[in-house]
Amino acid sequence: MYLIYMIYFYYSMCMMLFSCLLMILIYKYLLMILMTMEMMMISILFMISIFFNTEIFNLFMILYFLSFSVCEAVLGLSLMILFIRMKGNDYMNCLNLNLW
């Protein structure tokens, strides 16, 4: 049983590293950054479900984390729609934050 948990943990860590690598490599478009952030949230949710598998606290933690990730996704998509309406594209190099 311990071996299965370790395999799932390594799988979620690989998924997290892969999403971090994608975020570093594909930083041009805002939609791709939002998708990789959602992939990170799924891998973190998977890790939480592995660590708190035996406790009743697992259900409350997962529901809290899912509600947080949904709010984050809605906020990101609404900001992306606002940015597309203002600028006409979703390139990250059009933001003033990249000029620092």
* Residue ranges per structural domain of the chain: 2-99
* The pLDDT of residue 30: 84
Q: How far apart are CA 100 and CA 96, in angstroms?
A: 8
pLDDT for 74 equals: 93
Dihedral angle over CA of 43, 44, 46, 47, nearest 10: 120
The domain defined by 2-99 folds into Helix Hairpins (1.10.287)
Tens-digit pLDDT string for the chain (100 aa): 778 888 888 888 999 999 999 888 888 888 888 899 899 999 988 888 887 776 666 778 788 888 999 999 999 899 889 888 888 887 776 666 655 5
